[in-house]
Each structure stands twice: as C-alpha cells, then as structure tokens.
Structure 1
Amino acid sequence: MKLKNNLHLLAQKDLEDKFLNRNLPLIRVGDTLKLGVSITEGNKERVQFTEGVVIAKKSSGLDATITLRRVMQGVGVERVYLINSPKLKSIEILRSSTVRRSKLYYLRLRFGKATRLQQRFD
C-alpha cells in the first residue's frame, strides 16, 4: 500500500514539473511587485500591469499563490495570483521590505503612515 502511494506521488510530481514556471524571482512577503497579467478582451489579448505589496504566500509547487494588496482611490484591494499560471507574463520586484511576520494581514486594519514598511537593502 505504501509503495503504491509513493509511486502515485512520484507520478504526480513528474506531471507538475512540466507546468512549473522556472524563471521566477525569489518572492518574499513584504515585497512590492509589478505583475503583468494577460487579459483577453474579445479577440484581442493585452498585458495589464498591477502593482502591490505581497501580504501572504501560500503553498508550494504548482498551486503556489501570493496575495497582493494595493490601495486604489482610498479603497484597499487584494487579489490572489497563481504564481505558475500561464496568464502571468512578468514579475518584477520593485522594492523589498524587512518584515517579522509571515502574513501581513495587519495592513488591512491600518492606513496612512502606519502601513509603511521598512525597506531592505540586499
């Protein structure tokens, strides 16, 4: 039974390896990213850029996601992106910040100067 489960996991890992995005930068919580997402409108396809702070990372492998938060017109907007999605065309790290938490959900409650993160220089 155990051998059968191990073979199943190996086959699943081989299948996932085909779809992993290999040219990803090292993304950490607290980084400010600029993402280019492919959007189809009718029969035209274009890349829409969005910018925000990574407040959470979840999982690893093929189903890895990041939660990006930005403030638009005074309203906080959060969106979850699949890192290995073929619709994700580009990822650029604009700024890295020093954080002491793995999830920055406290940024939801604060606004103004309280949401500033200290920049990290590597």
Structure 2
Amino acid sequence: MANLIDFVNNELSAKKDFPTFGAGDTITVFYEIKEGEKTRTQFFKGVVIQRRGTGATETFTIRKMSGAVGVERIFPVNMPAIQKIELNQRGKVRRARIYYFRELTGKKAKIKERRR
C-alpha cells in the first residue's frame, strides 16, 4: 500500500528544478498572488529555518526580519504558485532545524557563509 501511495505522489506531483538548499541558507522565493482578476509576483527573502517532510508533503520554513518584527512563512515545496527559488547565500550551521535562531538579535543573528 505504501508503494502505491509513493508511486502516485511521484507521478502526479509536478517536478520543478529548484536549487538544493537547507537550514541556514538565505533564499528568495518568488510566488504568484491572485487578487481578484489580477495576478502578481511577490518575493519572500529570508533564512531557511527548517525543511520538513518528504515527497508531496515536503515543506520549508523561512524567517525574515520586517523592521524589528520577525516574520516566518511556511511554503510547500510542491506549491504550484511558486515560480522560482534563488539561493542567495549558503549558511554554515550544525543543526537541521535552527529554532534557536528566533531568539538571536544583533550580531549574534548572523550566520556565517559556507565556503564552496
């Protein structure tokens, strides 16, 4: 039964070519918003806090600072409204889920860049 579910998820989900990214990376997500008849593209740039799930149910959480307020947004990887994802900076972190990043302020909130 599990094999059948995996087969359907793999066949029906639209594959998009996104860069590989993980926790600590700074990315920009461009997604489409529909307002009545009009559609526009909006972007959300921030640090990836986590990636969760597998296959069709995989999601990732991005955190950005808007003024002095932290804003987090959860995106499904297979969301049809996502147009593209740009990888701005690779971060050097030692955890897969960096929840501790929420409490950091100032210089402590900077994530070092990973060398390539």
State, as a whole percentage, how many aligned pairs show the same letter: 32
1:89-100 alignment runs, 5 A limit: 89-100=83-94
1:38-77 alignment runs, 5 A limit: 38-77=32-71
Alpha-carbon separation, structure 2, partners of 1:36 and 1:110: 26
User: What TM-score results when the alignment is normalised by the length of structure 1?
Assistant: 0.89
Alpha-carbon separation, structure 2, partners of 1:10 and 1:100: 33
Counterpart of 1:9, as a letter, is A
Name whichever of 16-25 and 60-69 sits farther off: 16-25
Q: In structure 2, what is the equivalent of residue 11 of structure 1?
A: 4
- CA-to-partner distance for each residue in 1:40-99, whole Å, 9 max, x for gaps? 011011110110000111011111010100000110001110011111111010000110
User: Is the Cα contact below 8 Å between 1:33 and 1:91 reproduced in 2?
Assistant: yes
Corresponding residue pairs, total: 115
Q: In structure 2, what is the equivalent of residue 31 of structure 1?
A: 25
Q: Which runs of 5+ in 1 are unaligned?
A: 1-7
User: Is the Cα contact below 8 Å between 1:38 and 1:47 reproduced in 2?
Assistant: yes
Alpha-carbon separation, structure 1, partners of 2:37 and 2:3: 39
- CA-to-partner distance for each residue in 1:11-56, whole Å, 9 max, x for gaps? 2122111214241211111110000011001101111011000011
Is the partner of 1:55 in helix, strand or coil? strand
| Rg larger in structure | 1
Q: Which runs of 5+ in 2 are unaligned?
A: none
Is the partner of 1:119 in helix, strand or coil? coil
Alpha-carbon separation, structure 2, partners of 1:77 and 1:28: 18
Name whichever of 8-17 and 71-80 sits farther off: 8-17
